Chain A
């Protein structure tokens, strides 16, 4: 009778969960001793190592010279052995195997931490973007690229095709990406970079049907406006939009 009461009060699941949790704590404690750091520091490193990505790849951090998830493997192994022994001696049975049960407890713990991280991300997004209009958000995300693209589209509405003159290195990853971002925000003004627009001397051939010239991040932009073009609007020293003189703007 007494034995049954004890079993009802402490169902096997609770005992096994407590066992896994104590193994996690014990494991981290051992790691902290082996690495000569305080337990609090160890917990902090483990937590920071579990950052969760908001991009396509994020490797977990390192704790005691090993990836955090390597420690997860060790914890699962220890937990599995402990639960196996507990089940063996107590006669308790459960559907999940000891290793899977330990993994599930660890996963639940990680889900709590992950949810906290997503909540933090939610707060950041809310702080950054709340009560901002769509153009304000884009200005925040793309800085001068979006501001200049908006400026161009306001001054030259409708569909146009133009050249881009810039000091940016369009062959570098950053320059290439910024070029495409500008292309996206400028559309319907098309400025797609085409190597064929350059002549053998490396100078852009301005004699084709394109009707405008976008000078973006070009030092002293005004000086680079070629003959046959006039400045339509200038945002600052390095950014302006020019159009063909005879185009009829």
Chain B
């Protein structure tokens, strides 16, 4: 690897700025911070990268050069302001407690497994240059052009000009800091995104169950070779997985802890998802529906309406900026999503279910995680699974979305021929972490069950 001390310093600076902006933004968004330091940092990276690419995009559409100076200056100014504002915040994230008392051989084995895979992912992603098709065609080339031109000017002559720009701009930011387009080092953001996600998932599951169950959920996630593969390449899917699943987790935590900041961060993440991949727009609608289902029973209609409006405004506000820009490019958008209604839509159903079954249960992409989930579902009948029910609801919404999309639109042609199951796998990856979480919730003892049994 062509890697020297200067590169290391530049890479650290490239990652530290968005992280620090995210770190202090979280203080402001969540005065009653429920996270420990590690989880706070993990979420800060996602928040910071989302804010950074939005900032780069704003520079681009206002025809200000997207250079290290302009981006960095904006970032540093924001950081200074946030730093001084955050000083007044009452509560800092706590250090995670050392759980020496409950360390058992299984937990040690699981921790070793997780660290071994993280080491492999970091090695593999930084060792192999951009070489996979989408990396080069729709992400790498755009990033390289942004890096050279320092503007979005040539966007409408590039392949897939209407695709969201988070990944190309994130790669561009790393390259700007390195002062060169390095096909290997720019991929650093991908394994870091995964590591941050693992931490967020661990914390989330631990809030509802035990640390051992939380570790098991992380192991189940890393059991999927597709997750590992996508952590070593610069595709958009893993980043969308991060934002999409983080929203679901944050909303569930918000429901549990009633901390309004979590709701705001979830809204922001939902919006950032729309800037990662087109599917993010559909997911943001799912997030709103999920929020509705989550709160409809125990809040007044007025509060429910207010919550939904707030979430919608934050999430779709971020989405709207890029959509308006996209329309200004005067290019065809979403040309395959017009609705087709008729008797043939019913005939499609069997084909869709067959394709989903094939991809979920007969592909090596997920190991046997979906099979374990299927087996675990029998527990629904046996015990109080309120938390699992909510995750199941979210999972059902995502599957429902795709079944509906395939039923009613020409996107069906993709799966009817069976040759694009790879694409289907990538779509499932966006919400795959909900499967390990659901398995753990269905099988481990959750705090809700403890409370119920205590009553």
Q: A187-B145, A188-B148 are in contact. Are A53 and B365 (CB under 8 A)?
A: yes
Q: C-beta contact mask, A90-119 vs B, less than 8 Å → 1, else 0?
A: 000001110110011011001100110010
Pick the contact of A141: B129, B382, B421, B444 (CB < 8 A).
Answer: B129
Pick the contact of B372: A100, A134, A184, A187 (CB < 8 A).
Answer: A100
Task: Name the residue of chain A whose CB is nearest to the CB of B148.
Answer: A188
- For window 57-78 of A, CB contacts with B under 8 Å fall at 57-60, 67, 69-70, 72-73, 76
Say yes or no: A184 contacts B137, CB within 8 Å: yes
Question: When chains A and B are docked, how far (Å) is the Cα of A129 from the Cα of B133?
Answer: 20
Query: Is B131 part of the binding interface, using a Cβ–Cβ cutoff of 8 Å?
Result: yes
Q: How many residues of B contact A (CB 8 A)?
A: 58
Query: Is B304 part of the binding interface, using a Cβ–Cβ cutoff of 8 Å?
Result: no
Say yes or no: A125 contacts B372, CB within 8 Å: no
Inter-chain contacts of B144 with A (CB < 8 A): 184, 187
Task: Name the residue of chain B whose CB is nearest to the CB of A179.
Answer: B137
Task: Name the residue of chain A whose CB is nearest to the CB of B140.
Answer: A184
- For window 213-233 of B, CB contacts with A under 8 Å fall at 219-220, 223, 225-226, 228-229
Query: Is B292 part of the binding interface, using a Cβ–Cβ cutoff of 8 Å?
Result: no
Question: When chains A and B are docked, how far (Å) is the Cα of A59 from the Cα of B123?
Answer: 26
Question: When chains A and B are docked, how far (Å) is the Cα of A119 from the Cα of B310?
Answer: 48
Query: Is A54 part of the binding interface, using a Cβ–Cβ cutoff of 8 Å?
Result: yes
Say yes or no: A56 contacts B226, CB within 8 Å: yes
Say yes or no: A53 contacts B364, CB within 8 Å: yes
Q: How far is the CB of A56 from chain B (nearest CB, A)?
A: 4
Inter-chain contacts of A70 with B (CB < 8 A): 362
Query: Is B376 part of the binding interface, using a Cβ–Cβ cutoff of 8 Å?
Result: yes
Q: A103-B371, A110-B368, A142-B131 are in contact. Are A97 and B379 (CB under 8 A)?
A: yes
Q: C-beta contact mask, A154-197 vs B, less than 8 Å → 1, else 0?
A: 00000100000000000000000100110110011000100000
Q: A95-B443, A134-B184 are in contact. Are A56 and B422 (CB under 8 A)?
A: yes
Question: When chains A and B are docked, how far (Å) is the Cα of A115 from the Cα of B117?
Answer: 9
Question: When chains A and B are docked, how far (Å) is the Cα of A192 from the Cα of B376?
Answer: 52
Query: Is A242 part of the binding interface, using a Cβ–Cβ cutoff of 8 Å?
Result: no
Query: Is B10 part of the binding interface, using a Cβ–Cβ cutoff of 8 Å?
Result: no
Question: When chains A and B are docked, how far (Å) is the Cα of A76 from the Cα of B444?
Answer: 19
- For window 124-159 of B, CB contacts with A under 8 Å fall at 124, 127-129, 131, 133, 136-137, 140-141, 144-145, 148, 157-159
Question: When chains A and B are docked, how far (Å) is the Cα of A76 from the Cα of B159?
Answer: 47
Inter-chain contacts of A107 with B (CB < 8 A): 220, 223, 367-369, 372
Q: A57-B363, A184-B140, A184-B141 are in contact. Are A125 and B225 (CB under 8 A)?
A: no
Inter-chain contacts of A58 with B (CB < 8 A): 225, 363-365
- For window 183-226 of A, CB contacts with B under 8 Å fall at 183-184, 187-188, 192
Q: How far is the CB of B422 from chain A (nearest CB, A)?
A: 4
Say yes or no: B148 contacts A51, CB within 8 Å: no
Say yes or no: A111 contacts B223, CB within 8 Å: yes
Query: Is A50 part of the binding interface, using a Cβ–Cβ cutoff of 8 Å?
Result: yes
Query: Is B426 part of the binding interface, using a Cβ–Cβ cutoff of 8 Å?
Result: yes
Query: Is A47 part of the binding interface, using a Cβ–Cβ cutoff of 8 Å?
Result: no
Question: When chains A and B are docked, how far (Å) is the Cα of A141 from the Cα of B130?
Answer: 10
Say yes or no: B127 contacts A129, CB within 8 Å: yes
Question: When chains A and B are docked, how far (Å) is the Cα of A70 from the Cα of B361?
Answer: 8
Task: Name the residue of chain B whose CB is nearest to the CB of A111.
Answer: B223
Say yes or no: A183 contacts B141, CB within 8 Å: yes
- For window 379-431 of B, CB contacts with A under 8 Å fall at 379, 382, 421-423, 425-426
Question: When chains A and B are docked, how far (Å) is the Cα of A125 from the Cα of B378?
Answer: 42
Query: Is B182 part of the binding interface, using a Cβ–Cβ cutoff of 8 Å?
Result: yes
Inter-chain contacts of A249 with B (CB < 8 A): none
Pick the contact of A52: B182, B225, B379 (CB < 8 A).
Answer: B225
Say yes or no: B123 contacts A122, CB within 8 Å: yes
Query: Is B343 part of the binding interface, using a Cβ–Cβ cutoff of 8 Å?
Result: no
Q: A129-B128, A137-B129 are in contact. Are A59 and B363 (CB under 8 A)?
A: yes
Say yes or no: A69 contacts B378, CB within 8 Å: no
Inter-chain contacts of B1 with A (CB < 8 A): 134
Pick the contact of B2: A57, A69, A134, A177 (CB < 8 A).
Answer: A134
Say yes or no: A99 contacts B184, CB within 8 Å: no
Question: When chains A and B are docked, how far (Å) is the Cα of A59 from the Cα of B357?
Answer: 12
Q: How far is the CB of B154 from chain A (nearest CB, A)?
A: 8
- For window 110-145 of A, CB contacts with B under 8 Å fall at 110-111, 114-115, 118, 121-122, 125-126, 129, 133-134, 137-138, 141-142
Question: When chains A and B are docked, how far (Å) is the Cα of A33 from the Cα of B367?
Answer: 27
Inter-chain contacts of A121 with B (CB < 8 A): 124
Q: C-beta contact mask, B219-251 vs A, less than 8 Å → 1, else 0?
A: 110010110110000000000000000000000
Say yes or no: A53 contacts B225, CB within 8 Å: yes
Task: Name the residue of chain A whose CB is nearest to the CB of B363.
Answer: A59
Query: Is B116 part of the binding interface, using a Cβ–Cβ cutoff of 8 Å?
Result: yes
Inter-chain contacts of A184 with B (CB < 8 A): 136-137, 140-141, 144
Say yes or no: A114 contacts B225, CB within 8 Å: yes
- 22 A-B Cβ contacts within 8 A? A54-B229, A56-B226, A57-B359, A57-B365, A67-B362, A72-B371, A95-B443, A97-B379, A107-B223, A107-B369, A110-B368, A111-B113, A114-B367, A115-B116, A122-B124, A125-B127, A134-B2, A138-B129, A138-B131, A138-B183, A187-B141, A192-B157
The list of the 3 closest CB pairs from A to B, nearest first, reads: A56-B422, A57-B422, A52-B225
**Inter-chain pairs besides A103-B376, A142-B131, 15 sampled, C-beta below 8 Å:** A56-B229, A56-B422, A58-B364, A95-B443, A106-B368, A111-B113, A111-B223, A118-B120, A118-B225, A118-B228, A122-B123, A125-B123, A180-B133, A180-B141, A187-B144
Residues of B within 8 A of A (CB): 1-2, 113, 116-117, 120, 123-124, 127-129, 131, 133, 136-137, 140-141, 144-145, 148, 157-159, 182-184, 219-220, 223, 225-226, 228-229, 358-359, 361-365, 367-369, 371-372, 375-376, 378-379, 382, 421-423, 425-426, 443-445
